[in-house]
Amino acid sequence: MAFQKILIANRGEIAVRLIRACRELGIQTAAVYSEVDAGAQHVRLADEAVLIGPAEPAESYLNIERIIAAARAAGCEAIHPGYGFLSESPDFAQTVEDAGIVFIGPPAEAIRRMGVKTEARAIMAAAGVPVVPGFQGATATDADFQQAAAEIGYPVMVKAAGGGGGKGIRIVHQPGELAEALGAARREAEHAFGDPTLYLEKYIAHARHIEVQVLADTHGNTVHLFERECSVQRRHQKIVEETPSPHLTPDIRARMGAAAVEAARAVGYVNAGTVEFIADFDGNFYFMEMNTRLQVEHPITELVTGIDLAQIQIRIAAGERLPFRQEDLSQRGHAIECRVYAEDPSSGFLPATGKILKSIEPIGPGIRVDAGVVTGDSVSLHYDPLVAKLIVLAGDRAAAIRRMDAALGQYAILGLTTNLGFLRDVIRHPDFAAGQIDTEWVEATLLPWTSEEVEVPVEALIAAALSELGAGMNAAGGAESDGDQFSPWGRMDGFRVGQ
């Protein structure tokens, strides 16, 4: 392996995932952290860690100069951006390259061209990739948008040109709603992306959100690793993903995969990326956007293809060829991922913060947990409240649903409100079992959601009892240390001499 040490320019679950991938390749890692993350799991797992600033992302995880300085100080030959933060910043990718460090991701120009959604649409249309009917124009007035919307036909979607993560999007059903939607979307886009540019797309009701994983090396080889169904969403943000999609026929799957490969080639793409499509129930699909990074939901693709996407990213960045051709790839079994968030679904999915008193992860055949926190860690108000990703693999979709239901039932997180109960309601719903899900299904069927009393898992009760029992014991199993509340021997937070 060409790299001896890699800087992980991220935090939380994805930083932990990448550190473990590097460890398996025999590569050392350097983590970066903000002041509030000094005791975070990714800091503990890395070979070394560099403080890059206060809690505010703009002063730490979004500060390009400090991240480059950290990579130089740690002697890293490459930087992996993970997802979120600077992962889709062409300025960051270019600055890394200019500093003589390898960026583990696509070229800066590919990020820039795909990051501006209006330009991406134009490139895809020129490449023969089907796009949703729409309207775009950097200098377009509200009157231009009104005329275009009338020609496209309502409903339409107002979308931010530089958008992502569900921000800067409004669905407009009537002409009288458009002006207000344009103003609101511009304000949100300016705040989130620093770019108020908008465009219109025809809104496809009851659509499926299906994305295709692509890989491209520096030797001209590009392949797809099939699709992921991402239609279970709230506020345009994914909650549950699965592969294969229960919606696609072999013919549609092949055509969609070929379109994704053409999309990647059209921009000279290198490394891992995802081409996202909107599909209807009649077999039509349209390009939506390209995410120029590793996706949150990448583990389900790993499970059905047997390919470690994090490791292959590193190998591509080191100049290696893809070790397989398209005809070598296939899907085996069915995988589902649920995103476990510290949030309250019964209160509009408001984020929850605080300390995790006890985390009991499910274990068993075909169960994988990618977690960014463990018992004793805290979820901060400064960052995304993703706690973990629960992933299962089984022989077929019905078996995968049963396995996920059982795994969610075994998962216990004490001290924080989470969406575990909500996720279980999704998995158990007959519509989900039948594959009759679209991007509007959550809002139409499950919201507003009210938590029901559920039986606390036996494991959680045992953990709580042991915790209370241990609270009065010292590290050697003896009595509490002379009533000294500050004595380390009376603490149950993992303190050990020499650690």
CA distance 114 to 403: 37
Question: Torsion angle of alpha carbons 275, 221, 293, 405, nearest 10°?
Answer: 70
253 catalytically annotated: no
Residues 234 and 438: beta-carbon distance below 8 Å: no
As a whole number of angstroms, the longest Cα–Cα distance in the chain is 80
How do strand 5-8 and strand 78-80 relate by DSSP bridges?
parallel
Q: Helices 108-115 & 90-98, crossing angle to 10 degrees? A: 170
279's tokens: 């599909």
Inter-CA distances, 129 with 123, 293, 413, 451, 480, Å: 9, 20, 44, 43, 69
- C-alpha span between 289 and 272 (Å, rounded): 15
The residue from 11, 170, 228, 293 that is catalytic is 293
Q: Looking at residue 398, what DSSP letter applies? A: H
Residue reference for tokens 């589902």:
336
Tell me which residue of 284, 274, 289, 259 sits closest to 159, measured CA to CA. Answer: 289
249 CB burial (10 A radius; 0-12, 13-18, 19+):
exposed
Does residue 276 contact residue 334 with C-beta atoms inside 8 Å?
Answer: no
Q: Which residues are catalytic?
A: 293
